Chain A
Amino acid sequence: MKENILIMGLPLNTLIIVGGLFVLSMFLPTIIALILKHLEDKKNE
């Protein structure tokens, strides 16, 4: 039988899918803002 890997009692696939998407979505605005700033700085050079 396939053994589930648990981290803090949470299955690894849940941690990756739900937790990963959650953390990514939380920081995505900052990532986008930094990319836009970088593009703007590059354009102004």
Chain B
Amino acid sequence: MNKIIMYMFCFTVYTIVFLFWGKNGFKKTNNARDFCVAGNSLGLFTGVCTFTATWFSAVSMQSVTGSVYAYGYSTILYSVVGWLLGASCLVFVANRIKRHDIITIPEYFKIRYNSKGFQAFTGLIIVICYILYIIIQIKGFGIVVSTLLDIDYTIAILLIYLFVVYTSFGGLFSVSKTDSLNFIILAAGIFFAAVFIVSDVGGITLMHEKAAAIMSKVSPKYSITQGALLDPSANNLFSPMMIITTGLAWGLGTASNPQYIIRITSTKNRKTGIQMVCLSAIVLGILYVGLMFIGIGSRVLVPEISQISSVDEALPFIINSKMALNLSGLVFISIIAAAISTANSELLILASSFSYDIYINLFNKEISDEKFLGISRVTIFIAGTISLLLSVNPPDILLIYGSYIWSIFAVSFLFPLYGGLYWKKATKRGAVMSAIGGILTICVFYLLDISGVYNMMLHPVFPGLIVSFIIFYSVSKLTYKETGDVS
């Protein structure tokens, strides 16, 4: 059978199952709580599926695999390890956040710091950051679909737009239901692809021995020295400071990321929330082992790919050129599943934030459930369209681009959230000023870096976090005793 026909067939089957699977969520969604947190009803199985599927995005599937393909195991240190350490911090959130009856994370800030302004400000950060982050999922999907179905990239990205908008309209019930389907598909795709590639290169030991000898360039842009694929710093290609600070950006961005915290608040109780985070980290770890083997094994199978312009394109190329027909169809769908399951969650959260934290909070308190759902769905449509338009000219390497967006969450949410949960002296002014100070610091260091004024060899999140922490601690200490500053 022709490969394109096979991919089309898989894609059609996936679309039919997806539409059927997701439609039930619409019936259950009647109000804001249903829409934003699935009526706080998620059990452990659904929770782990939706947490893992949301986590596993185009960055994981394509950029981690592509970066391991290009630079080897050093990639794991500044991406996956950072993310999973961030998940560890989420246990602390799960331990306390369920004490508050909230349906968005900015609402927690309003309750804790008694500030509608801070709720709206953090809501705005969520809206902007997720519009920019969804570009990653759209690009990931676009690359795979355009490469494998041999259609134009612009047409390909229109397809994910329809999928994502459809599921997000149904709220978290719909998103979590389709996430369960997507999780099963992506886990199966990674498992079979890893087994196929490792078998093809002759086993794990032989794969590493062959990888150690590779010193070719993936393409003119990406070159390594011999042995770099198996070296923790890719033979000093990345400075330890850059590895640590990029891992920090990802990790603390994960630790304070609304898309994970909202899943914790959506579980039926505190115990389920904690178990969901712990179990998801283990499941994710197992999936990442599969991706590492796919990345290194693919490099052994195909040491050079002159046709690609970015490491993110490596996996689709390998699928198309090396994998058996049936398997390549499954892996193709698993990459699509990863992109859709993350994008719809992010679109849902940004819509919730706009409707609940900005519109209702600032302009119209008395609003019917129907109107709330209507505004949220219009927001999904508009925000999805903006992301789609921005995706026509996407960023180069998703893994690096994403770390900048996550770093905004790290500097603006981390201290107000964890400080608010665990430090009684945390104050409104400390929280607001640390968020603003952290974001400004990141912007200044980022501009200095890209303008070439000063090559820092460290991620801008590092100075951003230091500034954010100093402001949060010192301003909270100074303002703690002032009346009305603590709720």
- Where the two chains meet, the residues of A that have a C-beta atom closer than 8 Å to any C-beta of B are 6, 8-11, 13-14, 17-18, 21-23, 25-30, 32-33, 36
Contact = CB atoms under 8 A, between A and B. Distances in A.
A39 B191 CA distance: 38
B206 A21 contact: no
A11 B84 contact: no
Contact of B84 (A10, A17, A28): A28
24 contacts: A8-B204, A9-B204, A9-B206, A9-B211, A11-B231, A14-B73, A17-B77, A18-B74, A18-B76, A21-B81, A22-B76, A22-B80, A22-B285, A25-B85, A25-B87, A26-B285, A28-B84, A29-B84, A29-B90, A32-B88, A32-B91, A33-B278, A36-B95, A36-B274
A21 B231 CA distance: 14
B213 to A, nearest CB: 11
B232 to A, nearest CB: 4
Given A11-B231, A26-B284, 14 more contacts: A8-B205, A9-B205, A10-B208, A14-B232, A18-B74, A18-B232, A22-B285, A25-B84, A25-B87, A26-B285, A29-B88, A29-B90, A32-B88, A32-B91
Contacts of B211: 9
Interface of B: 73-74, 76-77, 80-81, 84-85, 87-88, 90-92, 95, 204-209, 211-212, 230-232, 274-275, 277-278, 281-282, 284-285, 288
Nearest to B86: A25
A18 B77 contact: yes
A10 B73 CA distance: 10
A29 B232 contact: no
Contact of B91 (A8, A23, A25, A29): A29
Nearest to A34: B278
Nearest to B88: A28
Contacts of A8: 204-205, 208
